[in-house]
Amino acid sequence: MEFEHMLFTSEHEWVRFDDESDVVIVGISEYAAKELGDIVFIELPKLGADVDRSEAMGTIEAVKTVADLFAPVSGTVVEVNTALDGQPELVNKSPFEEGWFVKLSMSDRSELDHLMDHDAYQNMIGES
Amino acid sequence: MSNTIYGKSRRGRLGYRFAAHTPQRPADFPEAYLRRGSIGLPEVSEPQVARHYVGLSVKNHHVDKDLYPLGSCTMKYNPKLNEEVSALPGFCGLHPEQSEDDVQGALEVMGSLEEKLAIITGMDAITLQTAAGAHGELLGLMLARAYFDDRGEKRSTVLVPDSAHGTNPSSANIAGLRIRTFASGADGRVDLEMLRKELNDDVAVLMLTVPNTLGLFEDRIGEITAMVHAKGGLCYMDGANLNALVGRVRPGDLGFDVMHLNLHKTFSTPHGGGGPGAGPVGVKSNLEPFLPVPRVVRREGCYEFEYNRPKSVGALHSFYGNFAICLRALAYITRLGAEGLRKASGAAILNANYLARELSSLYPIPYGQRCMHEFVATGEPFKSHGVRTLDIAKRILDFGFYAPTVYFPLVVPEALMIEPTETEGKETLDRFVEVLTQIAREAAETPELLKEAPHTTPVRRLDETAANRHPVFTAPREA
Amino acid sequence: MPYTYHTDDDRKEMLQRLGVESEDQLFEQIPSAYRIPGPLPLAAGKTEPETMRMFAEIAEKNRPAATMLSFLGGGIYDHFVPALVRHLAGRPEFMTAYTPYQAEVSQGTLQVIFEFQSHISRLTGMPVANASMYDAASALAEATLMTAKITGRGTVLYPAGLNPRYLAVMKRYATGQGISLQPVPFAAGSGQLDTNALRAQLSPDVAGLIVQTPNYFGVLEQPWTYEADVHQAGALLVACVDPISLAVFRQPGAYGADIVVGEGQSLGNDMNFGGPLLGFMACGEPFVRQMPGRIVSATRDVDGREAYVLTLQTREQHIRREKATSNICTNQGLMATRATIYLSLLGETGLVELGRVCCERAHRLAELVGGCPGFALRFDGPFFREFVVRCPKDAEAVVKAARGDGILAGIPLSRYFGDAARRDLLVATTEKHTEADYERFCSVLRKD
């Protein structure tokens, strides 16, 4: 698992970015998926929706809990992972890859500076 | 789904006949009006229906079987006398559109219950129209909104403590009000400083459960309600825990302006596997003009329905509420009488405190052993063995008891919310303590037994993930 | 004191362990200013025989419609309740259980709800039904809120021929949410919703159209003729239906309804002076997560057994709290149990037969009443088991006179539709009536 191009929020979302485009992929961490338990349903923002950093943009449901999905950066939704409709378990099985949620086109790249790298995130959740 | 009634269906079996002749498909209707295809209901014989549902029924735990210690549900004995009373044709055969002359007895039941509930609660007026506690909460909040609208005041916030039952915030949402949750104090009760900070001119209602969901009485309730009133707000009491107070304390005396009762909790009407209940609402005179219609009034010795109430919020039920449930509650109050009601709350508090004392060494009670009619213990100590409250609850089922409420209120981690009620005897309580003691031992010695519990129930742990990811809502139709 | 176990010895022992002299001491955790000193000013308790006698006397002051010749309808009907229904539903296993959160010991309740959902789903032709609501009125009110939430729009259209008591509740719920309700007139001749008027009212702000069929006048609507218009306008179609009528008439699933609600009182439940009733709700798959109420799903346990469990609980108040689809918690479980047993007992053949009998009878009655001098059917639209009769004099007067002969003639429409309807009478019939009953009714109507 390549964590070099991944950054994390304190609410357990991750972004995967690259140096060329302004599009980032968003998901939740393995830790978050484990804490939630079996994920049964995901509500994602619509294609074309604008989201603001740190605002709730969707929900993730486990059997007995609901968690908000927060936007790690501000931007516009350019792609939604429709595979999650019928297979929410992808988030549990492959939270960093197949279980991605949306792709955002960033409105302000500098917002990435607010996020932490993998080591810092691991520290935060108490695992190293 | 071979075990459903559909699985037992065979073409040509007949359960029931109404007519001597078989009526034909109606001829005078254009085809477009008629049903497309068969309904798909099963075809089973009457004896089969009897066996099927009897067979299902015995898979349930129920109050007539053994202890059902759900917190804030007051699972007390449901007197069968109440069933006899409500089955009298003079009651169950009444159509709600009948003229008042023909239903004086029913109106007397309603008027009499309203009067008695007013006495019990210390409120000025009661409506029986709301069909459940949550329904009553909704009405209560709508009454508050109407009150403020009438005064030309715009207030949109409802304050609830973090120990509140989920129906409180959801009712506020339906009533079109915003919810603000505030943290309880270290003693589990309302923190007056916290409340003071939250109180502003936008607060319409403070909603409190008294005693609260931790089984604790708000000993500064007088100050609390005064504070809210000073800021122009109203105080709502969620009456789910009234069993602790009947005959001893009256919510009206505590400064509450509006409250609901749960007849299926405090007043012994049966829970029915999820209702029907009844959630009458009581108000002080300032809110009385807004009560839903019709009101039951007495004029010249006769009872009448009164609809002409210009400030009324209208109606929340198609008729008068769950009349037959109200009837049962009235029978209960009649049977117990003043002294009986007082003794009932006494026995409820005795049973709860006894259980709390016997259990607290193994299952810590964060807010102390002295409680009212219920208490909240925690399963935290067992986490070190990899055992959670869920596992403890499932293991309790193996011993023929229902598990207490778990994971509520949210202020206690791994919560076990226990309300025995007054209709349990010492033997049952001692047996429950024995079982919980054994389970504590098992948690340390054989935790797997708990994690895989229950073992002896009609079914074992269910695949809830599959039920949520790929739900099956109906029995599949035959091809 | 009735219903408690404690002997004096038990009490003493328990009090001793707690280190107190009496229960009163346990109440000292409540400041004395809040405690009342003695028993409430209520009558002393009565014995069981005394209580029974008292209530029997009160019941005697009622003249129940079920024991008279009654043509009262308006949403509540006097159908026959088979003995087995009462008997099975009265079992303590069904009656004294509660919310089936511990599914392993609640399979009776859960499977009954599953079967209820299955019955309603088949009757209505909709994929998913919930475990029940308080009554049709509140179910309809919640459906109204649902359409606004799903579409994000603020207006809901309803037929002027809608049950006025349901409308009152809808209005109450809608006010809280800032939803605007607008009536669509009915055609004077047929009593059915005026389709032209509807088309003119389908603006981009309309979240949904409610259609009640049969409507309050007993007239059957034709929703399939405007379903496409409703959907093209981006609105949802909500059908409020009579469950027994669906045995004979077109089910909402067969005309594109999105949400279906109705009153299940006639399915094995007594009239009970209007409560408890039985609201039901069903919807199309896309709307399941917006539907209020409990829902049961089939699943398996760890040993592979067929089992049932509450599902999609994240919609509900105990998890979602202020963001829940509704606040409903306790619903009408036991009435749904009765309806389930009733529908299982009648089955396919029985329910279809019942539906056809009611329809046949109502048409026979309408013919006979229409043959009484001065009486005529008010609407020419098709009907099921209820119809409106225009009387030669005020309907209230007809009702009063008939009452003198021990007959409940029906509901005077002026009660809800004002003075313009003062000669209109809503008459309902069920399978309990005989030809002799109809003759008796007509002979009374013929009297001046």
Q: Which residues in chain A touch residue C297, judged by CB atoms under 8 angstroms apart?
A: none
Beta strands in B110-155 (DSSP E): 125-127
What CATH code is assigned to B344-462? 3.90.1150.10
User: What band does C315 get if pLDDT is binned at 50, 70 and 90?
Assistant: confident
User: How close, in Å, is residue A71 to chain C by CA atoms?
Assistant: 19
H helical segments located in C7-82? 8-18, 23-26, 48-60
Going by C-alpha positions, the residue among C419, C421, C367 that lies closest to residue C391 is: C421
- Please write the tens of the pLDDT for every residue from C293-310: 999 999 999 999 999 999
Going by C-alpha positions, the residue among B342, B263, B265 that lies closest to residue B86 is: B263
Whether residue B468 and residue A41 make contact (CB cut-off 8 A), yes or no, is: yes
Q: Which residues in chain A touch residue B465, judged by CB atoms under 8 angstroms apart?
A: 38, 40, 63
* Structural domain for C390, as ranges: 65-80+348-446
Q: Which residues in chain C touch residue A40, judged by CB atoms under 8 angstroms apart?
A: 314
User: Could you tell me what percent of chain C has a pLDDT over 90?
Assistant: 91
- Please write the tens of the pLDDT for every residue from B410-456: 889 999 999 999 999 999 999 999 999 999 999 999 999 999 999 99
Going by C-alpha positions, the residue among B419, B121, B243, B248 that lies closest to residue C28 is: B248
Look at strands A75-80 and A102-106 and give their pairing.
Answer: antiparallel
- C319 in the same domain as C170: yes
- C226 in the same domain as C173: yes
DSSP state of C365: H
User: How close, in Å, is residue C376 to chain B by CA atoms?
Assistant: 19
| Token pair in block for residue A24 | 């980032």
A103: left (phi over 0), alpha (psi -120 to 50) or beta: beta
CB C161 within 8 A of CB C184: no
User: Could you tell me what percent of chain A has a pLDDT over 90?
Assistant: 86
Tell the residue number behind the tokens 């009649």, with chain if given. B334
Q: How far is C-alpha B145 from the geometric centre of its chain's CA atoms?
A: 24
Chain B / chain C CB contacts < 8 angstroms: 681
Whether residue B166 and residue C354 make contact (CB cut-off 8 A), yes or no, is: no
How many separate domains does chain C show? Answer: 2
**What pLDDT was estimated at residue C448?**
64
CB B341 within 8 A of CB C1: no
Averaged pLDDT for residues B72-86: 95
- Which chain B residue shows the shortest CA-CA distance from A38? B465
User: How close, in Å, is residue B155 to chain C by CA atoms?
Assistant: 13
Averaged pLDDT for residues C283-302: 94
Tell me the average pLDDT of chain A. 93
- C285 in the same domain as C152: yes
Answer whether residue C336 is part of any domain: yes
Has the ipTM of the complex gone over 0.95?
Answer: yes
User: How close, in Å, is residue A1 to chain C by CA atoms?
Assistant: 33
Terminal CA-CA length for chain A: 15
Q: Which residues in chain B touch residue C273, judged by CB atoms under 8 angstroms apart?
A: 91, 94-96, 103, 106, 319-320, 323-324
Q: What is the DSSP string of B322-357?
A: -HHHHHHHHHHHHHHHHHHHHHHHHHHHHHHHHHHH
Whether residue A88 and residue B469 make contact (CB cut-off 8 A), yes or no, is: yes
Averaged pLDDT for residues B333-355: 96
HEC string of chain A? CCCCCEEECCCCEEEECCCCCCEEEEEECHHHHHHHCCEEEEECCCCCCEECCCCEEEEEEECCCEEEEECCCCEEEEEECHHHCCCCHHHHHCCCCCCCCEEEEECCHHHHHHCEEHHHHHHHCCCC
User: What band does B367 get if pLDDT is binned at 50, 70 and 90?
Assistant: very high
**What pLDDT was estimated at residue C270?**
96
| Token pair in block for residue C134 | 């308080």
- pLDDT exceeds 60 at position B177: yes
HSE-CB at C112 with a 13 A cutoff on CA atoms is 37
Whether residue A64 and residue C319 make contact (CB cut-off 8 A), yes or no, is: yes
CB B245 within 8 A of CB B345: yes
**What pLDDT was estimated at residue B128?**
98
CB C215 within 8 A of CB C159: yes
User: What band does B163 get if pLDDT is binned at 50, 70 and 90?
Assistant: confident
Averaged pLDDT for residues B49-70: 97
Distances (CA, A) of B338 to B121, B334, B414: 13, 9, 39
- The dihedrals phi and psi of B227, each to the nearest 5 degrees, come to -60, -45
**What pLDDT was estimated at residue A128?**
53
- pLDDT exceeds 60 at position B46: yes
User: How close, in Å, is residue A86 to chain B by CA atoms?
Assistant: 8
The whole-angstrom separation of Cα C42 and Cα C49 is: 19
Q: Which residue(s) pair with C169 in the sheet?
A: none
Q: Where are the domains of chain B?
A: 82-335, 344-462
- C376 in the same domain as C275: no
Q: Which residues in chain B touch residue A89, judged by CB atoms under 8 angstroms apart?
A: 469
- pLDDT exceeds 70 at position A62: yes
DSSP state of B202: T
Whether residue B468 and residue A89 make contact (CB cut-off 8 A), yes or no, is: no
- pLDDT exceeds 60 at position A48: yes
Q: Which fold has domain B82-335?
A: Aspartate Aminotransferase; domain 2 (3.40.640)
- pLDDT exceeds 60 at position A53: yes
Averaged pLDDT for residues B57-81: 96
Q: Which residues in chain B touch residue C40, judged by CB atoms under 8 angstroms apart?
A: 119-120, 247, 338, 341-342
| Token pair in block for residue C22 | 């009496």
Residues 6+ apart with CB under 8 A from B372: B211, B215, B216, B217, B241, B244, B349, B352, C29
- The dihedrals phi and psi of C407, each to the nearest 5 degrees, come to -120, 135
**What pLDDT was estimated at residue B479?**
52
User: How close, in Å, is residue B301 to chain C by CA atoms?
Assistant: 13
- Please write the tens of the pLDDT for every residue from B179-195: 999 999 999 999 999 99
Answer whether residue C5 is part of any domain: no
Report helix, strand or coil for C295. strand
- pLDDT exceeds 90 at position B242: yes
- pLDDT exceeds 70 at position C76: yes
Given CB atoms, is A46 within the 8 Å cutoff of chain C?
Answer: no
Print burial letters for B188-220: b (CB count within 10 Å at least 16), e (below 16).
bbbbeeebeebbeeebbbbbbbbbbbbbbbbeb
- Please write the tens of the pLDDT for every residue from B278-299: 999 999 999 999 999 999 999 9
Among the three residues C342, C371, C404, which one is the final residue of a domain in this structure?
C342
Among the three residues C313, C342, C371, which one is the final residue of a domain in this structure?
C342
CB C317 within 8 A of CB C328: yes
Higher pLDDT, C318 or C434: C434
Answer whether residue C50 is part of any domain: no
Residue count of chain C: 448
Answer whether residue C198 is part of any domain: yes
Whether residue C320 and residue A61 make contact (CB cut-off 8 A), yes or no, is: no
- Which chain A residue shows the shortest CA-CA distance from B462? A63
Look at strands C259-263 and C236-241 and give their pairing.
Answer: parallel
Given CB atoms, is B469 within the 8 Å cutoff of chain A?
Answer: yes
DSSP state of C174: H
Averaged pLDDT for residues B76-92: 95
pTM given for the model? 0.95
Q: Give the DSSP H/E element, type plus range, for residue B207.
A: strand B203-209
- pLDDT exceeds 70 at position B251: yes
Q: What is the DSSP string of C111-168?
A: HHHHHHHHHHHHHHT-SEE-S-BS-HHHHHHHHHHHHHHHH---EEEEETTS-HHHHH
CB B304 within 8 A of CB B310: no
Going by C-alpha positions, the residue among B449, A89, B465 that lies closest to residue C301 is: B465
Residue count of chain B: 479
- Which chain A residue shows the shortest CA-CA distance from C323? A66
- Please write the tens of the pLDDT for every residue from A1-39: 788 899 999 999 999 998 889 999 999 999 999 999 999
**What pLDDT was estimated at residue B279?**
97
Q: Which residues in chain B touch residue A63, judged by CB atoms under 8 angstroms apart?
A: 464-465, 468
The whole-angstrom separation of Cα B128 and Cα C312 is: 31
- pLDDT exceeds 90 at position C73: yes
Choose the CATH number for A7-108 among 2.40.50.100, 3.40.50.10490, 1.10.460.10, 1.10.357.10: 2.40.50.100
**What pLDDT was estimated at residue C321?**
79
Answer whether residue C34 is part of any domain: no
Distances (CA, A) of C123 to B298, C57, C135: 44, 41, 18
CB B287 within 8 A of CB B257: yes
Helices B167-174 + B133-150 axis angle, to 10: 50
Going by C-alpha positions, the residue among C5, C102, C118, C341 that lies closest to residue B73 is: C102
- Please write the tens of the pLDDT for every residue from B222-239: 999 999 999 999 999 999
- Say what the alpha-carbon torsion angle C229, C234, C239, C240 is, to the nearest 10 degrees: -120
Averaged pLDDT for residues C185-189: 97
- The dihedrals phi and psi of C159, each to the nearest 5 degrees, come to -80, 140
- Which chain B residue shows the shortest CA-CA distance from C325? B170
Q: Which residues in chain A touch residue B407, judged by CB atoms under 8 angstroms apart?
A: 64
The whole-angstrom separation of Cα B444 and Cα B191 is: 37
- C383 in the same domain as C311: no
CB A73 within 8 A of CB A91: no
User: How close, in Å, is residue C228 to chain A by CA atoms?
Assistant: 26
Going by C-alpha positions, the residue among B220, B269, B210, B278 that lies closest to residue B244 is: B210
Distances (CA, A) of C413 to B235, C390, C416, C417: 41, 10, 6, 6
Distances (CA, A) of B310 to B293, B296, C122: 10, 16, 43
Residues 6+ apart with CB under 8 A from B478: none
